[in-house]
Amino acid sequence: MSEFARIRERHVAETRQFTPEAIARLSWSRDQVQEAQTLGLRKVVAHAQENSPYYAWAIGSLEASTLDLSDLTKIPPLTKELVMGHWDDLVTDRELRLEHIVDHLEKLHRGETDNAYYRGDIYAAATGGTSGKRGVYLWDWETFIVTTNITFRMEMQRDLVSPPQGPRRTAVVCAGSYVHASRMVFAATLDPEREVRVFPADMPLDKMVEEMNRYQPDRLIGFASIVQELCAMALDGQLKIPLKRISTNSEPLFPEAREMAQEAWGVNINDTWGSVEIGAAATEGDSYGGVSLAEDFLIFEPVDDHDEPVKDPHSSDRLLCTKLFGTLMPIIRYEMTDTMLFDLDDNPDAPGCRRIKEIKGRADNWFVYPGDVKVHPMIFRGVLGQERHISEYQVQQTAAGARILAIAHGEFSILDVESALASLLKEAGIAEPEVSVERVDNLPRHPQTNKLTRFVALE
């Protein structure tokens, strides 16, 4: 057994020891959640002030021991640019240097080492997000334990009540390299009797289907875009596996994927939302009313464009997030640019936590055309998502419109799709829009993360 395998085995074992507490928190009341947030905030801020030169400067003399949730606005927000610009001073271990972590990631990516742990207990991950701006983030031992439990605790809770019958096999479609956190988290399991096999997201789909047909998993976890494509291949009769549960992550999940999963297997999809910066942050329970924010471990602040709190979360422009676990790289009021629709009704999956009805994508991912014409890329979804033979697509902005790459199962009218999209772009303010649609076998994915950027804006 390799050194990495030994460390990971021990890490997963400790993660499972924490699972009973993580599950118990799902029944907490709102008051219990907010009490945990207050105590966690005081602990995180005190440690950051004492051990991080950046936070000693940014937070100043604010008294951590008496902080209340309403005092969060006294702490300046954190952005990816600030993290990368002050990386060495932001982390709380004075021996850590960004250049050393980058060297470690490059060796991991080149295959010069197979140990994803730095110094034996730190996991480092790089992300480009949807913006393309590189970020490097650290997870200490506790961060992996907590975020893995957030990811799987609702699934494990159901399994304890109703144990799965037959072979327990999970197929995980994720990044092939440990450089990306999806490989680290989604290939773990809280159930010691469950077998997990990883299918790299850049594996050719026909080969993936062939190997899954041999493996016969009862559960599937994967990037939303690839899960949608696998659903289409199941409806085509190519993928023949007995799925009882499907979970998606890392990319927006569209209603079309849910509809296909229902048709193919009679199951809905449990979505997951999070990021490398904060780990898994929200998971969907079996009421399927939206993803439940893990507010027992994280604080979320809906804010406007000026980072001011909004009374109505429906009117927020973005979220600020504070991580209440892990002390190596404090994440306090971190700017998440996803735009979200909150569900303010009771949450049957986790009574003390709010739910997100819809994650609409990045607020900073608009297509901007000459004359300051702004088009949200989701306008394309209304047409492309309704064409039943298009299973996956990528929209690339051009100077006067868009170039669309589409994977299709069956025939459809390219001319009709181009015409419909051109009409919508004209209504949006583009005088003479140009739209082209091309059928392709595969879509371009990030070389390290294997994630699909569905909407690619011009620089």
Q: Which helix (H) or strand (E) holds 278?
A: none
- Provide the pairing of β-strand 318-323 with 298-303: antiparallel
Q: Is 333 within 8 Å of 78 (Cβ atoms)?
A: yes
Over its C-alpha atoms, the chain yields an Rg (Å, rounded) of 22
Q: Which helix (H) or strand (E) holds 169?
A: strand 169-174
What local confidence, expressed as pLDDT, does residue 13 receive? Answer: 97
What local confidence, expressed as pLDDT, does residue 364 receive? Answer: 45
CA angle 114, 213, 192 (to 5 degrees): 50
Phi, psi of 191 (to 5 degrees): -100, 110
How far is the C-alpha of 117 from the C-alpha of 135, rounded, in Å? 18
How far is the C-alpha of 104 from the C-alpha of 79, rounded, in Å? 24
pLDDT in tens, the chain (459 residues): 899 999 999 999 999 999 999 999 999 999 999 999 999 999 999 999 999 999 999 999 899 999 999 999 999 999 988 999 999 999 999 999 999 998 998 888 778 888 999 999 999 987 754 444 568 899 999 999 999 999 999 999 999 999 999 999 999 998 777 877 888 999 999 999 999 999 987 787 888 999 999 999 999 999 888 898 899 999 999 999 999 999 999 878 888 899 999 999 999 999 999 988 999 999 999 999 999 999 999 999 988 888 888 877 766 778 899 999 999 999 999 998 777 788 888 999 999 999 998 776 554 456 888 987 877 666 786 677 657 678 778 899 999 999 999 988 788 899 999 998 999 898 878 999 999 999 998 888 766 556 677 888 887
What local confidence, expressed as pLDDT, does residue 186 receive? Answer: 93
Q: If you search the block for the tokens 């735009």, which residue do you land on?
A: 339
What local confidence, expressed as pLDDT, does residue 418 receive? Answer: 93
Q: Is 100 within 8 Å of 138 (Cβ atoms)?
A: no
End-to-end CA distance of the chain: give it in Å, rounded: 46
Secondary structure (3-state) at 439:
strand
Q: Is 151 within 8 Å of 39 (Cβ atoms)?
A: no
Instruction: Give helix 255-265 / helix 224-235 axis angle, nearest 10°.
Output: 40
